[in-house]
Amino acid sequence: MSCFGEISLQELSIQEINTKLDALIAEHKQMPGALLPLLHAIQDNMGYIAESFYTPISKALNLSVAEVHGVVTFYHHFRTHKPGRHILQICRAESCQSMGSEALEAHAKKCLNIDYHQTTPDQTITLEPVYCLGNCALSPAVMMDEEVYGRMTPADLDTLVSEARLVEATA
């Protein structure tokens, strides 16, 4: 399974996208309750679930397009638009609040100059809220792609963001 961070959809042609989508559908459609595993696989492999995918998905799983749309939009995890190359989630839950996560949120929004659910203009970072990362003894916590970071300070956050940018610049 690829990680959430491998965003490659934008580099594929329409034909390649369709081939990939068909393969994923074929791989998952026999599973009981196939829709969520399929949507996860699509997002893992292609970065997001484009609305144009609803029709082929609905046909394969014998659902209506409305049902697919309903499921995709019900769950906070699924995205219908291209995200930045990294996803930064800041925990907003009570434990992190007790250790100053509100200041961390404000700092992130100010420094990245974006709000939640938005992406920086250089396409590096998409900022998302999250409600508990299970790192509550080391609050406040954030998650960059699939890694959790505990006891975060605004300065740590700056380091995390600039490292992400630096790695890209040198890659």
Cβ 38 to another protein, closest distance in Å? 8
Which has the closest alpha carbon to 157: 86, 84, 90, 83? 90
Q: Which of 24, 39, 104, 127 binds another protein (CB under 8 A)?
A: 39
List residues bridging with 119 in a β-sheet: 126
- Spatial distance between the Cα atoms of 75 and 8, rounded to a whole number of angstroms: 22
Stretch that binds another protein, among 17-25, 87-95, 109-117, 158-166 (CB under 8 A): 87-95
- Spatial distance between the Cα atoms of 8 and 120, rounded to a whole number of angstroms: 18
Cβ 160 to another protein, closest distance in Å? 12
Longest dimension (CA), the chain: 50
Q: Which of 56, 58, 148, 159 binds another protein (CB under 8 A)?
A: 148
Question: Which residues in this chain contact another protein in the complex, by CB under 8 A?
Answer: 3-4, 32-37, 39-40, 61, 67, 70-71, 74-78, 93-99, 130-139, 141, 143, 146-151
